[in-house]
Amino acid sequence: MTQTVIDYAKEMKRLSVSNEDVKQTTELLAELPQISIDFEDPTIDLEKKHHMIEMLFPTGIRDFLELLCDHHAFELFPQIVEAYHDEVRKVEKVPSLKVDISYVVPPTDEQLFKIKEFIKDKCHADELDVSLKEDKNLLGGFVIRAGHEEYDWSMRGRLQQIENKMKENVAAVSSMDEIITILKTEIDESAFDKSKREVGNVTWIGDGIVNIKGIDHAMYGEIVIFDTGVKGMVQDIRRDEIGCILFGRETGLKEGSRVIRSGKRAGIPVGDGFLGRVINALGEPIDGKGEIASEDYRPIENDAPSIVDRKSVSVPMETGILAIDSMFPIGRGQRELIIGDKQTGKTAIAIDTIINQKGKGVICIYVAIGQKASSVAKIVSTLTKHDAMDYSIVVSSTASDPASMQYIAPYAGTAMAEYFMHQGKDVLIVYDDLSKHAVAYRAISLLLERSPGREAYPGDVFYLHSRLLERSSRLSDKLGGGSITALPIIETQAGDVSAYIPTNVISITDGQIYLETEMFNSGFRPAINAGLSVSRVGGSAQIKAIKKIAAPIRTELAQYRELASFSQFGSELDADTKEKLAQGERIREMLKQPQYKPMPVEYQVIIIYAVTKKYVIDIDVDRILDFEQGLFDFIDTKYPQIPESIKETKELTADNEKALIAAIEEFKKTFIQ
């Protein structure tokens, strides 16, 4: 027997593959020999092999079979099984094993004998040190703990089984009769779950971090349950213990507290019922409107769509903000960073974008990370006032929540977004903000004793955000064509975009909208710096009408900034320079926009055309916004076909352009008078 075969057998044993799973797999391969031939065929795609494994084989052995396929070693499987049985037989007998039996009614001699024989067989023990303990909370039956393994044969455990199965089924039923039928079936047909549960004990606890000993097979990201009922997630796997983050308060937990493996990855309930609701990072409602009926359960961590599963960005995600839609357009499936100092209007841009999605079939998710509870309440109030909560979900993890909740909040929000995306829907998700998210992760990492790097952040902080933002994409038509558009927010210090976290997120995203403190304080809002802002998708995410007329805006603004700095020296200016300065001033003024008043794209076309074609060059700068509103009212009254046509066709046709020119000239005469 080769060393390779022995190594694979040891790996099978390490993965805790049961004898029953090995037996079922061997029998299946004997009945269907073609499966082995297919698995050994190198021309068959690995993805197809993995799919076949998921469909045919027991859960406990799937990972090992996929490993064999990945390493083109499936032909060794019969030898590995033989070596595996040898390894099991070679396990040293435990001379004496401590066994704790909890009961309501003490076990009879016969029951005690059967329990001992069961434990000896399962744990390879010669002698058992059995202690009995009464526990009325079990309602009936027994709970057996042998070393770090636990077998729950109690009535309480049985009821929990039924409850869990009911939760899985109730979402699919429509009447009380169906619920009763399911309940009867579960009571009549189900047996006690005799599978073992791995149990450990708390060795250290503090600041939302728990070290656990005794759980040897936990996965990264797996949920563990403490005896107080609070849950945690595995974040650190060491040689002899694991480190977990708590999803709740530490109250009642102490050194020695019992911890049980769940075998499940951290996830969140999802469904249409969450629309219009405010939830925490675990998917629990916090708006006082009652429970939410979920339709599915998705892990918070998911692989990003592959390259072949994506489609290029080509459909606009209109923000309703003239400066963005004209110069830095955002497309569905794009990731556009909003970056700037504190109190420069970053959240305002995100909220305006959400409000602008009314009636466009876009589902919006706002993720608040480390925000004040009062700030989140204000945002919810604003969205409600503008009827935006009907198609929105707010995921809130406030500054008072543990760092663990702030850490998982954006992943939970993305899992919710993926549910809708895979239904073929378009989703807009706002992360407010990822600076606080990175700080929360840094706190967790330092408490887990990971080595700090630049600015005390751990070495994987780039991966922290890349694996989050890469999940935003536009799916191919084959997968339904849904999309997630991400608007992450980053807060800078004194305008320093070269800091660690800002540079990381800038490199991951498809562009950034930079907000300038000086512009904001001078009253220019939204305070978007056209020189530093960029969209790497560009014109692909613009309608034809905007693309046709908006090109000169950035050029003329750049010329204005350059000429304005020279004109300060007081030298005489020629007529051409004066005209460029005047035009730049009017473009700047046009880009001003009040909060919570997104501008429909058809009206953006109208005002951009009027300004870029210099119809307002002779109008005072301080009257530009009055001119804009007056022009819209005039066209709505006398020429409503112009905006209607632009909205419908997405183009500015020759006939429409003539009509628009006539409308602008006609209104201008009345406005100047």
CB 69 within 8 A of CB 34: no
The CA distance from 526 to 326, in Å, is 14
Q: Specify the DSSP element, H or E, that contains 431.
A: strand 426-432
Beta strand 197-206 with 149-154 is antiparallel
State residue 172 phi and psi, 5-degree precision.
-95, -5
The answer to whether 89 is a known catalytic residue is no
Instruction: Please name the residues in contact with 590: beta carbons below 8 A apart, sequence gap of 6 or more.
Output: 322, 607, 608, 611, 624, 625, 628
State residue 242 phi and psi, 5-degree precision.
-125, 150
Give the dihedral sign, CA 420/422/428/434: positive
Core vs surface per residue 565-586: b (16+ CB within 10 A) or e: eeeeeeeeeeeeeeebbbbbeb
The CA distance from 281 to 397, in Å, is 6
Q: Which residue, among 633, 576, 636, 582, has the nearest Cα to 611 in the 3D structure?
A: 582
Beta bridge partners of 430: 366, 487
Matching residue, tokens 């200016």:
573
* Choice among 156, 536, 554, 623 that is catalytic: 536
Beta bridge partners of 267: 299
Matching residue, tokens 């009642």:
252
Query: How buried is residue 334: exposed, middle or buried, by Cβ count under 10 Å (0-12/13-18/19+)?
Result: buried
State residue 400 phi and psi, 5-degree precision.
-80, -10
The CA distance from 54 to 348, in Å, is 46
The CA distance from 551 to 33, in Å, is 65
Beta strands in 123-257 (DSSP E): 125-134, 141-146, 149-154, 197-206, 209-213, 222-226, 231-237, 242-246
> What's the DSSP call for residue 526?
S
Instruction: Find the largest Cα–Cα distance for the chain.
Output: 110
Core vs surface per residue 39-49: b (16+ CB within 10 A) or e: bbeeeeeeeeb
CB 511 within 8 A of CB 536: yes
CB 358 within 8 A of CB 509: no
**Encoded tokens for 561:** 């900034």
Q: Specify the DSSP element, H or E, that contains 282.
A: none
Instruction: Please name the residues in contact with 114: beta carbons below 8 A apart, sequence gap of 6 or more.
Output: none
The CA distance from 208 to 343, in Å, is 30
Task: Look at residue 405 and give its three-state secondary structure.
Answer: helix
CB 488 within 8 A of CB 433: yes
State residue 207 phi and psi, 5-degree precision.
55, 40
Looking at the annotation, which residues are catalytic? 536
